[in-house]
Amino acid sequence: MDGQAKRNNYLDENFDRFVGHLEEWLAIPSISTLPEYAEDVRRAAHWARERLTAIGFPEAKLVATAGHPLVYGEWQVDPRQPTLLIYGHYDVQPVDPLHLWSSPPFQPTIRGGNIYGRGTSDDKGQVMLVLAALEAWAKVDAGLPVNVKILLEGEEEAGGAAIADYVRSHPEHLQADAVLICDTHMVNAEQPSLITGLRGILYTEIVVSGAKTDLHSGSYGGVAPNPLHALCLLLGRLKGEDGSIDIPQLAAAIPVPSPADKQFWQDDPLHIEEALKAEMGVSAMVGEGAYPALERIGLRPTLEVHGIRGGFTGEGAKTVIPAEAVAKVSLRLPANLDPNEVFGWLEEAVGNKMPSGYRFHLTNLHGGRGLSVNPDNPYLRAAAKSVEAIFGALPVFMREGGSIPIAALFAEVLKVPIVLLGFGLPDDRIHAPNEKFSLNQFRQGMKTVADFLGRIRF
């Protein structure tokens, strides 16, 4: 039995224990955006540090930040071997609406070959498969094949301010030959894929004010400003029914796609558009019909409203005209754009489009650049070979619509290849009720990462 076979064997023999570890970690509700869960976030960080120590990392510690702590581990095995920096996050999204979960979000539950719970796919499950791969090397080969630095953050779902500060201020400490990130998904279980592009993100709050107090719609309806209606008018003007975003500087800044990308998007050889429709349960897509669906996800910017607060939304009837209303609005951006510059464009557009009779204020909650990776580098080629070895199919190179701002930051600061090797599936419902992770993907992911670690050794 060669080394990889032994390691695969080890991963199979210990698979139930790895699932158990993951269940332990998932049971900690490490919701980073809600202050009342701060202690749970810290517990989840401690849990990860203890796993690194158990695997054999000589160095494994928590790094204090202005926000939630970072977990850092380092294992230098041979200065002649390359150094891989592995990134992941141990925080999770909020869980509301809670009543739509079939099993409690923090009581991980296995049904039909999937493990259900908040963080299963995004990202505890994917970090855990990396930890399993590292353990397989540590136990079967008495050490890792390459030098490894691992950095886990607790604010990925909350803007990632702490890790961004840390990476910018510690470029030499984090220096590596490549960065591995397991926090994305494949096209489907039969068609593995590697991500070569991510969109940037800008997340904002728009506060609109009208009268100085809430008003009764009988006594004042007809003369009173209604900030909820102003937000509706504004958001309808910022993005039309056809999906077009009316921010002139943004429209002018969208890059021209490469002929190869354009061809892939037009041909859609993997029938991803049909798969997306099935996942969404819709017969027709909404958005910019003039562009192929894959281009709309891979390159085009978006503007989405995530929630509108103000007035009365409880049971029954309340005839209030609120004094103030707030919209949570994000934009996904082509990789070439700076979210802070786009925020200025958005502020200007909101000013131009706001109905008269209202005051408004925008807050830039967080932002991060996108990423565009050249697939022609040894680490991405190695990853493709590992995927082929374990999944039995060549991966396609894809642009993914989500944002991992830290990936762009690593590329900018460390100037090394970023390998986005994710094992999620499109129906994992990340950020939504009933998030799950396929146990088969969990198993194959461990083996793929273990294979990759051996393949990048000189």
What residues numbered 258-277 form the site for a copy of itself, per CB under 8 A?
Answer: 273, 276
Residues 168 and 86: beta-carbon distance below 8 Å: no
- Whole-angstrom distance, CA of residue 21 vs CA of residue 24: 5
Measured distance CA(187)–CA(282) in Å, rounded: 19
Which strand (E) or helix (H) includes residue 131? Answer: helix 124-140
**33 near a copy of itself, rule: CB under 8 A:** yes
Site string for a copy of itself, 346-385 (x = CB under 8 A): ---------xxxx------xx-------------------
Classify the phi-psi angles of 159: left when phi > 0, otherwise alpha if psi is within -120 to 50, otherwise beta. Answer: left
432 binds a copy of itself (CB under 8 A): yes
Amino acid identity for residue 243 in this structure: G
Q: With b meaning 16 or more CB within 10 Å and e meaning fewer, what string describes 243-254?
A: bebebeebeebe
Overall residue count recorded for the chain in this entry: 458
Window of 33-41, 44-52, 111-119, 133-141 that interacts with a copy of itself by CB under 8 A:
33-41
Binder among 1, 16, 35, 259 for a copy of itself (CB under 8 A): 35
Alpha-carbon torsion 390, 437, 369, 280, what sign? positive
Find the part of the chain contacting a copy of itself (CB under 8 A) among 129-137, 204-212, 260-268, 408-416.
204-212
- What one-letter code names the amino acid at 339? P
Q: Which CB sits closer to a copy of itself, 35 or 269?
A: 35
Is residue 201 within the footprint of a copy of itself (CB under 8 A)? yes
Q: Is 399 in the site for a copy of itself (CB under 8 A)?
A: no
Q: Provide the CB-side half-sphere exposure for 247 (13 A, CA).
A: 26
What are the two backbone dihedrals, phi and then psi, of residue 217, each rounded to the nearest 5 degrees? -70, -15
CB closer to a copy of itself, 109 vs 184: 184
- The residue within the footprint of a copy of itself, chosen from 259, 307, 374, 415 (CB under 8 A), is 307
Distance between CA atoms of residues 68 and 50, nearest Å: 17
320 binds a copy of itself per the rule CB under 8 A? yes
> Which of 48, 151, 228, 382 is close enough to bind a copy of itself by CB under 8 A?
228
What does the alpha-carbon distance between residue 47 and residue 247 come to, in Å, rounded to a whole number?
A: 45
Map the footprint of a copy of itself across residues 276-295, applying CB under 8 A.
276, 280-282, 284-288, 293
Strands 324-333 and 302-309: antiparallel
- Could you tell me whether strands 147-153 and 70-75 are parallel, antiparallel, or unpaired per DSSP bridges? antiparallel
Q: Which residue, 141 or 427, has its beta carbon nearer to a copy of itself?
A: 427
Contact between 251 and a copy of itself (CB under 8 A)? no
Contact between 328 and a copy of itself per CB under 8 A: yes
* Shorter beta-carbon distance to a copy of itself: residue 183 or 451: 183
Given 170, 262, 429, 457, the residue binding a copy of itself (CB under 8 A): 429
Pick the closer one to a copy of itself by CB: 101 or 137: 101
- Report the amino acid identity of residue 349: A
Distance from the first to the final alpha carbon of the chain: 21
Does 433 bind a copy of itself (CB under 8 A)? Our answer is yes
Give φ, ψ of 274 to 5 degrees: -65, -40
Only segment of 12-20, 48-56, 198-206, 438-446 that touches a copy of itself (CB under 8 A): 198-206
**Which of 41, 308, 406, 453: binder of a copy of itself (CB under 8 A)?**
308
Q: Which of 221, 248, 255, 392 binds a copy of itself (CB under 8 A)?
A: 221
> By CB under 8 A, is residue 316 in contact with a copy of itself?
yes
Minimum CB separation of residue 295 from a copy of itself in Å reads 8
Between 91 and 130, how does the x/- string for binding to a copy of itself read (CB under 8 A)? Answer: --xx-x---x------------------------------
422 in Cβ contact with 404 (< 8 Å)? no
What is the nearest approach in angstroms of a copy of itself to the Cβ of residue 83?
A: 29
Stretch near a copy of itself under the rule CB under 8 A, chosen from 260-268, 306-314, 377-385, 444-452? 306-314
Residue in 164, 430, 439, 450 binding a copy of itself, rule: CB under 8 A = 430
DSSP string of 168-223, one letter each residue? HH-TTTT--SEEEE---B-S-SSS-EEEEEE-EEEEEEEEEE-SSS-EEHHHHTTT
Residues 6 or more apart whose CB falls under 8 angstroms from that of 177 comprise: 82, 83, 84, 379, 416
- Amino acid at position 15, single letter: F
What are the residues facing 436 on neighbouring strands?
Answer: 116
Per CB under 8 A, which of residues 51..80 are in contact with a copy of itself? Answer: none
Size of the site for a copy of itself (CB under 8 A): 99
Nearest approach in angstroms of CB 246 to a copy of itself is 13
Q: Which stretch binds a copy of itself (CB under 8 A): 13-21, 157-165, 189-197, 390-398?
A: 157-165
